[in-house]
Chain A
């Protein structure tokens, strides 16, 4: 999904700059020497040697440790905050609250297409557990903890609603205004669903539920803030330094130029680190007040409360199909909650239903509600895994009902254009059918489907296979983004860009792009990135945007310097520039073999010292839409006695255009599947609805991420490589999100195949399966 566009840098609808000019676009790569190859990451050494400095690793002279006091109630008003005792503790340098500040900055929440709600940095009206109430800075984190314990707060504890299914009940406490609806229901319609159901041979209806999922990246949310006069520097664990910069500048009333955000390494975000946190601004305020740098890293428990989640969703889907497999109608309703502020509780929830399969009659209605819980943040393919949980299980059920292979059913409904977008634009490319067909082949789907009808009574493990398809809303990336290349006199290159490398291999891909285009080795390239003080602009890395956004800009920059280098060589070699090519750091004539010169030997380069090439991400193709596709296949085993679920193997087939870097591509695929396994089988937020409204599982034991033993050793990544030359000048579409969309549904379908039980609520674990298996036995 799009990152929130509230920040100073973006204006929706403004055309973005482009290099090279449309008429001068470089030809698509044909044979590549570097792109698409399996190369270790350019920063691998730093990451395995511990020399990569993550923001939470930063230690500065005289640095203090900040900590935040949070509201323990889901709904309360702060009457009084007494900082006296905390301030008096030895080693405590500052304690602040909303009242102690001269300015309590405004804090806005908004969601794409939704309302804007204004709050305060320290809002005395706490609408979720974990809202900030006060903060301290002390010489050690232990003393900071003691200081928090010394702060006295009087609360008016207020009635709350934390269950999204209760939020619209007449007696439910209201979070904002006069209703817990975030806005009017969002209705989408094409065709006539009643007519469609009339034409169907089979109509099925089912309800589906997906639990709230938490991002919990390995590196905690946090930063180090340091002032130098009126200039603020923040080392922040972030997906987007410029977004953080604008958030901080806005909150503190500073010019952008005075706020420098450095985010070179970061330990994962998955959408939860796209913008500045309240903690970022608080660290800056504490540091300014004391005149010393402040490190403020949240505790793990705090990250469960206050830095986002994937909303819980409840869905109903009615679907009609003809015996030949053509879908006739889809009718979807969905609700969900992004918590106490507008945060996209149902954003893109219905997108898969609207757009993935050919269907003439579709109606979708979604209702986003407020509850007294921590605000959601975009989470890897917002809305999509939830919608996929419904749609892809329904497709499986339809296939079962009409006795058709689930892959075949999907193949009968492959669209060539985006049905749900205005004007129904065609896809630049679609490899969806290929994902399904080649994925099925590589998985040996036909054979795997044939299994002895329900296992014998003494057989403990029931085996089954399942699959699901997916598309991702955004595949084209979005500008503006600028990359600057500088070629030094020795032919080595500095690549300067704003994008973060959130673990996806951004730096590696960009280095490969430049190496490919300039014919130099990757280790001649040094990258500066993700620093508002010294790098170019790029938006936050979200929406699978970084490769399709920054790689074209990097190629454009490389083309710009290449043109200069060839012009220099043309003069020096007395050869036409057109006939020159660069290979292994040398410029050769394609005609006369003796005409060659090393980049480092170019006289004109020496004369200039350094040359510069600027590349900018161009606009998206007009009249067409860029969409990545995926299909996943898996095999599971279910213990008939205990409901334990083993995932035996997984295959992910992806059409994300050109494969830029094979190792990091495959890594995304495995990582997306692993995250989908968590969403589908282990993860769930539990709130104490009826009693206190508090979050009861706020740690990595009670909130269960998949461990090394919960994923199959046997995972396969199958790229369906179709360079998309219309998408951009590198031919790549987004990858990071589609890889996680169909996973959970594929598992559910495999569980159905194994057991005959359709599990419609996440997570599929022994808690559910042992009960469902027992019920199923009774029925039989």
Chain B
């Protein structure tokens, strides 16, 4: 019998699990683009417990929403906007599960107040997708089985994406360094390195 060949190419295939996200709050995401260049309003004081209206640019969409000063970007992204690819692991800047790109650089969303993220370009894992189609780093993670439980994976992908945006042709040594702020308790590091290498090489070929 011939060896059965399966690719598992899920690009463009609608294959979502039953979604348990419902009612993620009323948020208007009306404008597409990026944050404005100038910003020079006078200082205002947000009082504790009061909600203030801010604008966040997430995945090229403008979100105008009410936040309390102490809310983290992580909380707003996950629990208010329902963008749950950004995971919560420690809420103290120690694991990388919540890694997002701010102005193309990976940061921990748990260590950034939502108010501080105003007028910055924020990219979450959802922002690497085009509809149902996954991006090249994500695809490399699939091909190299670069995860087990998958919970740190979105953060790992964002750290890798940040590396490749800054340095499209990274040296081998740069790869472990780039994901060294992202813990993986299942221990898929060697496959993560391979996946990032493959994604970089693929980009380099294009």
Contacts and interface: CB of A to CB of B under 8 A. Distances in A.
A, B: real partners: yes
Interface of A: 31, 33-34, 37, 39-42, 44-54, 56-62, 140-142, 215-220, 235, 264-268, 270, 297, 299-300, 502-505, 515, 521-523, 583-584, 663-664, 666-668, 670-675, 699-701, 705-709, 711-713, 715
Pick the most buried of B24, B147, B150, B154: most chain A CB atoms within 10 A of its CB. Answer: B150
Given A50-B85, A671-B187, A59 B149 contact: no
A59 B24 contact: yes
A270 B78 contact: no
Contacts of B125: 49-50
A700 B149 contact: no
A220 B97 CA distance: 11
For the complex of A and B, 8 pairs with smallest distance between CB atoms: A50-B85, A674-B187, A267-B151, A503-B149, A503-B148, A47-B150, A671-B187, A45-B10
Contacts of B6: 39, 521-523
A671 B176 contact: no
B150 to A, nearest CB: 3
A58 B20 contact: yes
Nearest to B182: A708
Contacts of A141: 75, 79
Nearest to A299: B91
Interface string B153-181: 11001000000000000001000110111
Nearest to B125: A50
Given A59-B82, A523-B6, A264 B90 contact: no
A522 B83 CA distance: 30
B16 to A, nearest CB: 5
Contact of B17 (A46, A215, A503, A708): A46
Nearest to A62: B23
Pick the most buried of A51, A523, A666: most chain B CB atoms within 10 A of its CB. Answer: A51
Pick the most buried of B19, B94, B151: most chain A CB atoms within 10 A of its CB. Answer: B151
B185 interface: yes
Interface stretch (B30-38, B115-123, B189-197): B189-197
Contacts of B149: 217-219, 266-268, 502-503
Given A60-B23, A218-B87, 7 more contacts: A41-B142, A45-B13, A50-B85, A50-B126, A53-B20, A522-B6, A699-B92
B68 interface: yes
Interface in B3-26: 3-4, 6, 8, 10, 13, 15-17, 19-24
Given A700-B94, A709-B176, A515 B4 contact: yes
Contact of B21 (A33, A58, A711): A58
Contact of A218 (B91, B97, B181): B97
Contacts of B132: 49
Contacts, number: 231
Given A270-B185, A670-B191, A53 B84 contact: yes
B19 A40 contact: no
Nearest to A61: B23
Size band of the interface chain B makes with A: 35 or more
B183 A707 contact: yes
B88 interface: yes
6 contacts: A31-B1, A33-B4, A48-B141, A504-B148, A667-B186, A670-B190
A297 B150 CA distance: 18
Interface in B85-106: 85, 87-92, 94-95, 97
Contacts of A504: 148
B21 to A, nearest CB: 5
Given A31-B1, A142-B68, A218 B22 contact: no
Given A49-B129, A268-B148, A709-B180, A216 B138 contact: no
A67 B67 CA distance: 21
A69 B136 CA distance: 44
Pick the most buried of A59, A61, A670, A700: most chain B CB atoms within 10 A of its CB. Answer: A59
B189 A503 contact: no
B22 A61 contact: yes
B152 interface: yes
A709 B177 contact: yes
A45 to B, nearest CB: 4
B73 interface: no
B152 A33 contact: no
A521 B97 CA distance: 34
Contacts of B124: 50
B134 interface: yes
